[in-house]
């Protein structure tokens, strides 16, 4: 399917594309001495630790057990010793959370998942169990437990592998598709088998020529169709990807399975294949180290819990005041402590210079409605923000706050420099808290 045949969504923006690491082949990052692993690595309940300070652990050994259905286990990224488990401020939520520190004491001694057999020999139920046992979550950033996606309560006929990667600085999915296209496609076949789907698509933005070519070559023998998408932010949003490829609209408050679709990131598909074919739990992930604040942007595979500071050293940061972001500039989170370990959801580390991140102070909304035009979800950000300032949280819910995908398009175009996304994230927490009372 070419770009002329896809449906285009309303709104969105075109931030400058700065794919500085697009030609950088994926490298294996040097394995650190200490690893800082927050137990809360996934959407839903964090897992419960099953090791304690002083315990010896092997690479791939389970160190935390899933706590309920919407939860996944954690595995040790190295062979070594548990130094401590303590409370630290979580880099995403900002709240105190359990942090496990592991010291590497010797080279890898692996504990892999059993049994290991060709990926095609697993039944649908065996695939789901292996995905859970491997601790696999969505690697596009949302970190939703993948085994839950593979157990939809409604009939699914279509799988979409998300290779859009619309964040303007990140390139790891692009490089994954170029360098590991066969593994990604085989993972897509396993996903389809798990849910009983007949069709598999891969959505890739038009500015990734090499990835498109590689995925077409690897996907054709497996019946996988590559769909070339317009380069527009947020093309990689789950609901907008579904609309572009299938012409189906996920209803307000609904899920992809409501329209018969499951969406998984291309790197997630690869992780599934490797868990099946090689018995590998998710102890590492690919990410991009990039931005104007580093001399040598890179794409790397790094172990979960690797300190950001160790990864920054690989790309030679500039000797000036810098802003470090976990993720990309549109949806990422500012890093307060660069010794924080990366998580399963860390798709990139973006380093920006002070002159790029500084912007004028927020002023009053002038009702220009640019935010309305930019919103890809047909919301009225100016109105939601007005309600937020007045703490009208019930009214915000009625104005479809929960449909906001936090893409940042509204804030990007706002002449008043209003940080809508920060406000809406806070409001969602309040709404969810009120709903539990």
Annotated binding site for [4Fe-4S] cluster: 365, 368, 371, 375, 404, 407, 410, 414
| Cβ-contact 201, 168 below 8 angstroms | no
Cis peptide leading into residue 13 (ω within 30°): no
Is the CB of residue 349 less than 8 Å from the CB of residue 300? no
Element (H, E) at 261: strand 261-265
Which DSSP symbol is given to 158? E
Distance in angstroms (rounded) separating the CA atoms of residues 235 and 255: 17
Binding-site residue set: 365, 368, 371, 375, 404, 407, 410, 414
Instruction: Give me the half-sphere count of Cα atoms (radius 13 Å) on the Cβ side of residue 319.
Output: 0
Give the count of beta carbons closer than 10 Å to the beta carbon of residue 293.
23
Residue 1: how many other CB atoms lie within 10 Å: 14
| Residue found under tokens 């692009």 | 174
Q: How far apart are CA 122 and CA 131, in angstroms?
A: 11
Residues 6+ apart with CB under 8 A from 262: 149, 150, 152, 156, 158, 159, 160, 191, 195, 197, 256
Q: How far apart are CA 11 and CA 232, in angstroms?
A: 9
Give the number of residues written for the chain: 437
Please list, residue by residue across 154-171, b when 16 or more beta carbons sit within 10 angstroms of its beta carbon and e when fewer do. Answer: eebebbbbbbbbbbbbbb
| Beta carbons of 266 and 218 less than 8 angstroms apart | no
Contact 164, 370 (CB under 8 A): no
Determine if the peptide bond prior to 115 is cis (ω within 30°): yes
What are the φ/ψ torsions at residue 195 (nearest 5 degrees)?
A: -105, -5
């Amino acid at each position: 399917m070419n770009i002329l045949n896809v449906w285009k969504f309303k709104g969105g923006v075109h931030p400058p594309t700065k794919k500085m690491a697009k030609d950088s082949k994926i490298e294996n990052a040097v394995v650190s001495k200490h690893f800082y692993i927050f137990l809360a690595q996934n959407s839903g309940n964090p897992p419960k630790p099953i090791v304690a300070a002083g315990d010896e652990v092997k690479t791939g050994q389970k160190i935390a057990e899933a706590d309920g259905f919407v939860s996944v286990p954690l595995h040790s990224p190295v062979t070594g010793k548990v130094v401590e488990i303590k409370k630290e401020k979580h880099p995403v939520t900002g709240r105190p959370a359990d942090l496990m520190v592991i010291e590497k004491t010797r080279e890898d001694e692996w504990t892999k998942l059993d049994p290991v057999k060709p990926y095609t020999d697993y039944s649908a139920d065996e695939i789901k169990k292996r995905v859970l046992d491997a601790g696999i979550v969505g690697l596009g950033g949302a970190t939703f437990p993948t085994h839950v996606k593979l157990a939809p309560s409604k009939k699914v006929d279509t799988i979409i592998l998300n290779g859009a990667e619309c964040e303007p600085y990140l390139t790891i999915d692009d490089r994954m598709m170029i360098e590991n296209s066969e593994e990604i496609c085989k993972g897509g076949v396993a996903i389809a088998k798990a849910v009983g789907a007949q069709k598999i698509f891969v959505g890739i933005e038009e500015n990734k020529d090499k990835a498109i070519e590689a995925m077409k070559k690897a996907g054709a023998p497996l019946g996988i169709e590559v769909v070339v998408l317009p380069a527009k932010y947020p093309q990689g949003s789950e609901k907008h990807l579904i609309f572009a490829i299938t012409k189906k609209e996920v209803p307000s408050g609904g899920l992809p399975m409501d329209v018969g679709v499951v969406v998984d990131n291309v790197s997630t598909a690869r992780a599934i294949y490797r868990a099946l074919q090689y018995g590998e739990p998710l102890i590492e992930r690919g990410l991009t180290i990039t931005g104007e604040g580093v001399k040598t942007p890179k794409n790397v595979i790094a172990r979960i819990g690797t300190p950001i500071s160790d990864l920054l050293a690989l790309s030679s940061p500039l000797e000036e005041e810098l802003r470090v972001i976990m993720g990309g500039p549109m949806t990422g989170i500012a890093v307060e402590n660069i010794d924080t370990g990366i998580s399963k959801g860390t798709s990139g580390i973006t380093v920006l210079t002070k002159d790029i991140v500084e912007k004028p102070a927020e002023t009053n909304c002038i009702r220009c409605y640019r935010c309305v035009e930019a919103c890809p979800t047909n919301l009225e950000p100016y109105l939601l923000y007005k309600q937020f300032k007045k703490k009208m949280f019930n009214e915000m819910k009625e104005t479809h706050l929960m449909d906001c995908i936090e893409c940042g398009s509204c804030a990007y175009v706002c002449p008043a420099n209003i940080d809508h996304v920060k406000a809406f994230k806070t409001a969602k927490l309040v709404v969810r808290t009120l709903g539990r009372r």
